[in-house]
Amino acid sequence: MDKLIGKMLDNRYEVLEVIGTGGMSVVYKAKCHRLNRYVALKVMKEEFAKDEEFRRRFFEESQAVAMLSHPNIVNVYDVSRSGDIEYIVMELIDGITLKEYLARRGALSWKETTFFALQIAKALEHAHSRDIIHRDIKPQNIMLLRDGTVKVADFGIAHHTNDQSTYAKGEAIGSVHYVSPEQARGSHIDNRSDIYSLGVVMYEMLTGRLPFEGNTPIEVAVQHINSIPLPPSDYVADIPQALEAITMKAMNPSPSRRYSTAGELIADLEKFRSDPTITIEVESPSVFAGPVRDDATIRIANPGELSGPSGSGRYHPVEEDEAPGSEEPRKKSGMRMTVAFAFAAVLIFLVGAAYFVLNVVDPFGSSGEEDRLRVPGLIGQMYDDVVADEAYAAYEIVVGEEVYDSKNEKGVIIDQTPTSGKSFSEGENTITVIVSLGPKTVTIEDYAGMDGRSVLVILERAGLVPTSDYVFSEEVEEGLVVETDPAAGTEINAGSAIVVRISKGPETKMTDVPNLLGMTQEQAAKALADVNLVLGAVNPVESDQLPGEVVGQSVPANSTVAEQTVVDIEVSQEKTQPEPEPAEEVTIRYVVEIDDLEDDIEVMVAVDSKVSYSGTHTADEGTVVVELTAEAGNHNVTVFQNGRLTKEENVAFK
C-alpha cells in the first residue's frame, strides 16, 4: 500500500487513494478538510524529489499552471510542500481521458471531433496568451467530463515561450506519436508545436489510428521528420474536405505553413462548424530533408528508418520546401508530380544509404558481420515453446517484462530487443522479450446497496465500461445498487462492458377509479378496496336522490391513479322543510262599550279565541279603548263583560 495513503498533508489534505501515475509524479485523490471538498494532489515521486533538476521542473510546472484560469484547463488551487513532499493541489476531474474514450469508440464522427478540437484549441489559446507552451498535447492528457466538457491537463513539461533554450541530447520531450518535427529534432519550439500535436490528436479522432507508427519510438520520430501521413479520408471516406484540410494544415511538418496561432485554428473550426462546405486553403506540405542532426533529441539508431516507416504506418515521401504557390493542381501535372516524387524517393534512399555506410557498414571491410549471430524473430510465439526449442539454444532469452495484453493470450511474446534481422555484436547473444500476461481481468465485487454513481466511477477506474440500468425495487432504496451484470464474483477482462442496475425505489402501481355514483356507502367502500384504493371521508349532502346513495366522489370515475389513493365520497340525505317566515303583525285600537250593569265590570277581549286583553272597569267609564295585535288580515274578535259575551265581530287588522 502506498505510504502516503491516509496521511494528512499540512494538516489539511487527507490522502485517500492513487488515481494516476506519471513519469515524475503520482496523483492522489484527497479531501481538503478546510473547504470540505475533494481534490487531486500531484506529488513528486520520492526518487526525483532529491534531484535539484527535477525539483526545478516540478516548480516550473506549478508556476506555469498557476498562471492559467480557463474552463478547458484543469484548475490549480494550491502549491505547497509538507516536509520533504512537494505537491500541487488541483481540481479533481470526474471523467475519463480522451485516449480511453477513443479506445472504446474508435474513430469519432466529424461533429464530435470538431466539438472536442475547439475546446482543446481554446485551452491552448489561453495558455499561449500567458506565454505557456504545453509541449505534450496528447489524448492521455485530455480529460472528458460527463457533460462533454474538455479539460487539458498535465503541464508537466510546459515552459515559457521566452525560454529560448533547446533540449539536451537524449532528453525525451513529449510523447513520440504526437511530437512536432522540431521537437523530434531537438530544435527550438514555439506555440506552433502545440498546434501540430493537436493536429495529430484530430487525425486520431477522425480515423481511429495514429498517423505514424513503428516498432520503436525512433522509427516514429523519424517519420514525423521525414514523412507526410495519408489524408484521413483514405481511411474514413465521409470526412468533410474542409475538416481534413484544417487537420492537415495543423500538422504540417513545416511550422511556417501551419496555423501560426491557436486563434487562427479556432476561427477555421468555427467557420467549418457553421458551414461544413467551406474551402480551407492549405499550403503544400514539406518536410525536413536530410539526416537528423547528431545532437538531436531523438537519435537515429537504424539508418533504414530514413527511407520509410516500419509496421503499419503509411506515408508519402515529399520534396524539400518550395515557395508557396509553386505547385499546380495534381490533375494538371500528373507527370511532373510523378517525377518529383520519384526524385524525392531516390534522394531519401541515397541519404539513408550514405548514413548506413558511414554508421553501420565498416568502410574498411573488416566488420566480419557474416560471422555474427543474427537475431531471430520471436514475436507471436509462446515463450515456453521458444525456450524449449533447440533451434534457439544459441541464444540467451530473458524475460524483461510481463504485461497485460488484450490481443494475446498468456505466455505469448509480444516484443523483443534487439529486433529480428539484426546481427549481434561479437560475444553477444541475449534477447530480452516482453511476454503477455493475457487480457487483464477484473473480479466483480459485491456492490449491492452502494451508491450507484460511485460504483460507476469505481468500475470505470478498474478498467471496465459500465452502463446504468434503473429498475424498480421493493427492498433497495432509490439510488442504490441492486445488482450487476455480470454478477458479483465473476471474473471478466478489462475493457469489458458491465451493467449496473440501480434502484428506482418501489414501483408505483396504477389502477382505474370505479364509478361510485348510485352506490351505498358500503358498496362504494368494497368497490374501492377491490382495486386497491382507500375510502376516505364520507360527507352527507342534501340531494333529490334517495337517502344513503353516493352522489359525488373526489377522484373522477375512470381516471388512472396510484394504488392506495384516498377517495372521498358524498352521500345523499333528505331535504329539511324550510321554517315558514313569520307573518307581519299589526296592532289596532279597538273600542269596547261598557254595559251599565254593575259598578265593577271585568272586560276581556279575545282575537280568534285567544285572549288579547283583560281588565276591570266601571260602568261610568262608558267605553274602553284596548290595543289588539294579530297578523295582518281579518280576525274574529269577541268581547266578554263579567263572563258574558257582549259582542262578536270580524275585524280587519291592517
Q: What is the CA radius of gyration of the chain?
A: 49
Res 350: pLDDT? 52
Res 346: pLDDT? 45
Cβ contact 624:603 at 8 Å: yes
**Whether pLDDT at 96 is above 80:** yes
DSSP label at residue 549? B
**Whether pLDDT at 598 is above 70:** no
Assign 3-class secondary structure to 96-138. Answer: EEHHHHHHHHCCCCHHHHHHHHHHHHHHHHHHHHCCEECCCCC
Q: 613 or 407, which is more confident?
A: 613
**Whether pLDDT at 47 is above 70:** yes
Q: 642 or 171, which is more confident?
A: 642
**What cell does 357 get?**
555506410
* Confidence class for position 296, pLDDT limits 50, 70, 90: very low
Res 527: pLDDT? 95
**Whether pLDDT at 171 is above 50:** no
**What cell does 616 get?**
276591570
Cβ contact 72:152 at 8 Å: yes
The lowest-confidence range among 53-57, 240-244, 460-464, 517-521 is: 53-57
pLDDT tens for 263-295 read 999 999 999 998 888 888 776 564 443 333 333
**Whether pLDDT at 314 is above 50:** no
Catalytic-labelled residue, pool 10, 51, 136, 530: 136
Task: Report all structural domains of the chain as residue ranges with CATH numbers, in order of start.
Answer: 1-92 (3.30.200.20), 95-323+332-359 (1.10.510.10), 376-436 (3.30.10.20), 441-503 (3.30.10.20), 521-573 (3.30.10.20), 585-653 (2.60.40)
Q: For residue 503, what are the contacts with CB-CB under 8 A and spacing of at least 6?
A: 452, 470, 471, 472, 473, 476, 477, 478, 479, 480, 481, 482
Q: For residue 341, what are the contacts with CB-CB under 8 A and spacing of at least 6?
A: 316, 317, 318, 319
pLDDT tens for 407-420 read 888 999 999 988 88
Whole-number Cα distances in Å, 322 to 1, 45, 218, 230 = 59, 48, 27, 20
**Whether pLDDT at 615 is above 70:** yes
Cβ contact 626:605 at 8 Å: yes
136 is catalytic: yes
* Confidence class for position 334, pLDDT limits 50, 70, 90: very low
* Confidence class for position 169, pLDDT limits 50, 70, 90: very low
pLDDT tens for 336-382 read 434 444 444 445 555 444 444 444 444 434 444 455 788 999 999 99
* Confidence class for position 556, pLDDT limits 50, 70, 90: very high
Cβ contact 563:509 at 8 Å: yes
* Confidence class for position 596, pLDDT limits 50, 70, 90: low
Percent of the chain with pLDDT over 70: 82
pLDDT tens for 224-235 read 888 888 999 989
Is the pTM higher than 0.75? The answer reads no
The lowest-confidence range among 34-38, 118-122, 514-518 is: 34-38
Percent of the chain with pLDDT over 90: 43
User: Which of 441, 436, 435, 381 has its CA nearest to residue 405?
Assistant: 436
DSSP label at residue 595? P
Res 298: pLDDT? 38
Q: For residue 274, what are the contacts with CB-CB under 8 A and spacing of at least 6?
A: none
Res 503: pLDDT? 94
Instruction: Name the strand (E) or helix (H) holding 218.
Output: helix 217-226
The lowest-confidence range among 152-156, 239-243, 526-530 is: 152-156
Cβ contact 331:232 at 8 Å: no
Whole-number Cα distances in Å, 296 to 16, 157, 187, 288, 550 = 42, 18, 8, 13, 97
* Confidence class for position 179, pLDDT limits 50, 70, 90: very high
Average model confidence (pLDDT) across the chain:
81
Cβ contact 108:206 at 8 Å: yes
Res 63: pLDDT? 67
First-to-last alpha carbon distance for the chain, in angstroms, is: 114
- Identity of the residue numbered 539: N
**Whether pLDDT at 654 is above 90:** no
Q: How many helices (H) and strands (E) would you count in the chain? A: 13, 32
* Confidence class for position 80, pLDDT limits 50, 70, 90: confident
